[in-house]
């Protein structure tokens, strides 16, 4: 009999820090669904010193996914990331085979950083991860194949920090590769809304609760059931 899925959460923070608003509150939301959730304390710039971090975070995520799969062989292991954490989760989903890493069973990507295209790039995230080197490898929409796990994505069209094209480009490539995905684009909302509930409001950055956007977690739960994880 299958066990409940496990979700490994990668908070955002431009690879410079890890946002607490995208950590414990999100884990609690998944646990209320009956899932198991944990937060990955992946290395960020403020801990490592000078960039680039390069492959350090994705190897850490892979190690955790591998350990969970070995400990819970009857459970699906999903990776969930926000902003730069979404880039981390998607990097494992895209490059696991090339790098010889553990394959997650599914991706949950919340306003993810994806592309190094100058029109859509989040420069801080790419600088902290790669400096000015190897950006092609980490521009993930360019490397999607049929080996990428199924994905759930959401974004807001009004996002000024990580333009919605990051999710749109990735979803388009998933479609071309025949990878199952679900994409939700909400018309309004600042970058970094997390659960978009009162609990995680950040008025200083105009991150207000929004009942419409907050529905993403219910849509994600439905997707998890639909994919039979």
Task: Write the CATH number for 135.
Answer: 3.40.50.1820
pLDDT of residue 8: 98
Cβ neighbors of 70 (< 8 A, separation 6 or more) are none
Put the strands of the sheet holding 181-186 in their side by side order.
36-39, 6-10, 77-82, 106-110, 151-156, 181-186
Distance in angstroms (rounded) separating the CA atoms of residues 44 and 73: 30
The whole domain housing 77 covers: 6-226
Count of the separate structural domains present in the chain? 1
Residue pLDDT, tens place only, 56-96: 999 999 999 999 999 999 999 999 999 999 999 999 999 99
* Per-residue burial over 13-38, b = 16 or more CB atoms within 10 Å of its CB, e = otherwise: bbbbebbebbbeebbebbeebebbbe
Distance in angstroms (rounded) separating the CA atoms of residues 36 and 15: 25
Q: How confident is the model at residue 54 (pLDDT cuts 50, 70, 90)?
A: very high
Asked if the structure places residue 25 within a domain, the reply is: yes
Question: For residue 171, how many other CB atoms are within 10 A of its CB?
Answer: 22
Three-class SS of 133-151: CCHHHHCHHHCCCCCCCCE
Q: How confident is the model at residue 50 (pLDDT cuts 50, 70, 90)?
A: low
Residue 51 or residue 168, greater confidence? 168
**pTM of full prediction above 0.85:** yes
Residue pLDDT, tens place only, 138-163: 999 999 999 999 999 999 999 999 99
Phi, psi of 208 (to 5 degrees): -100, 155
SS3 percent helix, strand, coil of the chain, rounded to 5, is 40, 15, 45
CB 104 within 8 A of CB 78: yes
Asked if the structure places residue 1 within a domain, the reply is: no
Asked if the structure places residue 53 within a domain, the reply is: yes
pLDDT of residue 48: 74
């Amino acid at each position: 009999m299958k066990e409940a899925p496990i979700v490994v959460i990668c908070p955002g923070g431009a690879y410079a820090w890890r946002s607490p608003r995208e950590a414990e509150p999100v884990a609690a939301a998944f646990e209320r669904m009956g899932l198991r959730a944990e937060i990955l304390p992946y290395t960020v710039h403020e801990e490592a010193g000078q960039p680039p971090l390069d492959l350090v975070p994705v190897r850490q995520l892979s190690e955790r996914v591998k350990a969970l799969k070995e400990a819970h062989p009857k459970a699906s292991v999903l990776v969930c990331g926000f902003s730069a954490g979404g880039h981390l989760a998607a990097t494992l989903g895209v490059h696991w085979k090339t790098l010889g890493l553990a394959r997650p069973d599914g991706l949950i990507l919340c306003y993810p950083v994806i592309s190094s295209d100058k029109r859509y790039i989040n420069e801080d995230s790419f600088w902290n991860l790669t400096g000015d080197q190897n950006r092609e490898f980490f521009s993930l929409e360019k490397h999607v194949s049929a080996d990428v796990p199924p994905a759930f994505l959401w974004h807001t069209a009004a996002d000024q920090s990580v333009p919605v094209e990051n999710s749109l480009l990735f979803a388009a490539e998933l479609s071309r590769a025949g990878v199952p995905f679900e994409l939700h684009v909400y018309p309004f909302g600042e970058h970094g809304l997390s659960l978009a509930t009162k609990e995680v409001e950040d008025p200083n950055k105009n991150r207000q609760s929004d009942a419409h956007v907050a529905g993403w977690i219910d849509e994600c739960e439905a997707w998890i059931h639909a994919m039979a994880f």
